[in-house]
Chains A and B, each alone.
Chain A
Amino acid sequence: RKEVEQDPGPFNVPEGATVAFNCTYSNSASQSFFWYRQDCRKEPKLLMSVYSSGNEDGRFTAQLNRASQYISLLIRDSKLSDSATYLCVVNHAGAAGNKLTFGGGTRVLVKP
């Protein structure tokens, strides 16, 4: 089983609709969680951290469910510019210190 798993998609989303997708992680000792965004042929960039109580950043909402070991990302009022691959990142303490593990990414395509 992979440490961090995501549905690769693609999620085809009409413009203006809401889309949500999850990321599961296997290490229950994982400490912190993040969502990155990667545009086609570009490098990944941090989108937002995921806090235990859930957090919003504009149209984006991130949630953490420690009991079931998953995090989620919800995008409201989808824009064409939201088309990208969303990478889930999980941090846990390893022998050499903190370690970030990336999921395979979920591709989102927003269409007019």
Chain B
Amino acid sequence: DVKVTQSSRYLVKRTGEKVFLECVQDMDHENMFWYRQDPGLGLRLIYFSYDVKMKEKGDIPEGYSVSREKKERFSLILESASTNQTSMYLCASTPRRAGDTGELFFGEGSRLTVL
């Protein structure tokens, strides 16, 4: 089974703190994604990566950055957390361009609260 592991299920941070969300997948997938999910808004794509050291902006990249130094690891960074970044963050991976099959393998999510 594909396993996508997110480092923290629940985090509480203060405004202005730097936040790292880590994601690791164990199936040698090329493609990795970071989404945030908010009530009524669905999942919105923040950043994605098709290869090591490669990154592409999604729909809402402002306030975020990412790092993909190794194939299995995709990190989301909030340089200076703000209260409007309180959300559920979901990491996903797929072995091919996501649109081919539509199947994204998601981690369990990281619920971030920024006070």
Contacts and interface: CB of A to CB of B under 8 A. Distances in A.
A103 B109 CA distance: 18
Interface stretch (A14-22, A52-60, A72-80, A85-93): A85-93
Interface of A: 4, 6, 8, 31-34, 42-46, 49, 87, 89, 91-93, 96-100, 102-105
Nearest to A100: B98
Nearest to A45: B106
Q: Of B40, B42, B97, which is in contact with the most chain A CB atoms at under 10 Å from its CB?
A: B42
A104 B42 contact: yes
B56 A46 contact: no
Range of interface residues on chain B? Answer: 20 to 34
Nearest to B98: A100
B76 to A, nearest CB: 16
B107 A98 contact: no
Nearest to A98: B99
26 contacts: A4-B42, A8-B40, A31-B99, A34-B102, A43-B106, A44-B106, A46-B104, A49-B101, A89-B102, A91-B98, A91-B99, A92-B99, A93-B99, A96-B56, A97-B50, A97-B99, A98-B97, A98-B99, A98-B100, A99-B98, A100-B98, A100-B99, A100-B104, A102-B35, A103-B42, A104-B42
A32 B43 contact: no
Contacts of B90: 43-44
Nearest to B50: A97
Contacts of A34: 102-103
Q: Of B50, B99, B109, which is in contact with the most chain A CB atoms at under 10 Å from its CB?
A: B99
Contact of A44 (B40, B43, B101): B43
B51 interface: no
Contacts of A8: 40
Contacts of A43: 90, 106-109
Interface in B34-56: 35, 40-45, 50, 56
Contact of B42 (A97, A98, A102): A102
B99 A32 contact: yes
Given A43-B106, A43-B109, A102 B43 contact: yes
